[in-house]
Amino acid sequence: MDELEFRRKAYAEPHSQDEAFLEAANADSAKHDFLSDLKSLDNKIADALHVSPPEDLTERLILRQQLKQHQKVKRTTSFVVSMAASVAFVAGVTFTMLRTGEIDLTSYAIAHQHHGPEHFSASKDISFAKINHELNGIKGLKGGHFTKQPGQVVFAKYCDFQGIKGMHLVMQNKTGGQVTVFIIPNEDRMIAKSNFEKDGFEGMTFDQNGNYMILVGKDQQDLNYVKKEIKDTFI
């Protein structure tokens, strides 16, 4: 290692553990002293560079990060809350739209027909006064009621047409044919075909004093008979 190389190395890396460098320093006392000088300068440089940080710097660094983190969590939480609110809002709107969507009365009527028994017991004869009492409980009917007995009624219960309360009657003519009658308050969103046929059932829909009448039965003649009865007795 020549003189120049040694000096350059000593300035650049006085604490170098490079073997050739250390050997060179040990072999020559002038080099050794030169290196010692530089090492001592380097120690002074190190002392000079070692300024003290503020005492509580560690705590402040951690605190600052935790405050940031806290804000972030809060932001995330409020984001989640607002997301949840949006979802709830959309769900609410969807639900309302479902409730206010068009209602196809005829398919509901058929579905009701399927759920009920095939044939109601013929022994009952429910009085029109009793039916009127029940009809009173349906606000949307606007006071629609029977003025006299519309033939034999073997079944009378409330029913639900997608949130709309209606009346479910089963009437029987003299030959034993049964016809289901749904009396439903008129609402704009309802659609109903005036005549329909499905799954072996015949049906008809007509308006009686602003209320829907849906008749479902097996026989067209029975339907016509019941229709006439209702036309005569329901106002």
Partner 1 sequence: MLKHFRNKKADSTVSIDMITKQRRYESLVRALNTDIYRYAYWLCGDKHVAEDVTQETFLRAWKALDSLKDDKAAKAWLITILRRENARRFERKQFDYSDIEQDHLEDVFSGSNEQHAEQHLLRRQIGNLEMEYREPLLLQVIGGFTGDEIASILDLNRNTVMTRLFRARNQLKEAMEKTETRGLSHG
Contacts to partner 1 by CB under 8 A:
8, 11-14, 38, 41-42, 44-54, 57-58, 60-62, 64-65, 68-69
**62 or 81: whose CB is closer to partner 1?**
62
CA distance 44 to 117: 105
CB 144, min distance to partner 1, A: 48
42 vs 34: CA distance, rounded Å: 12
Non-local CB neighbours of 217 within 8 Å, separated by 6+ positions: 177, 178, 179, 180, 201, 202, 203, 223, 226
CB-nearer residue toward partner 1: 68 or 130:
68
Angstrom distance (rounded) from CA 104 to CA 169: 19
Q: Closest distance between partner 1 and the C-beta of residue 209, in Å?
A: 52
Q: Whose Cβ is closer to partner 1: residue 47's or residue 188's? A: 47
| Phi, psi torsion values for 61, nearest 5 degrees | -65, -40
> What is the nearest approach in angstroms of partner 1 to the Cβ of residue 86?
19
* Smaller CB separation from partner 1, 51 or 97: 51
CB of 168 to partner 1, least distance (A): 38
Q: What are phi and psi of 175, to 5 degrees?
A: -85, 0
CB of 103 to partner 1, least distance (A): 34
Q: Count CA atoms within 13 Å of residue 138 on its CB side.
A: 26
Q: Which is nearer to partner 1, 66 or 94 (CB)?
A: 66
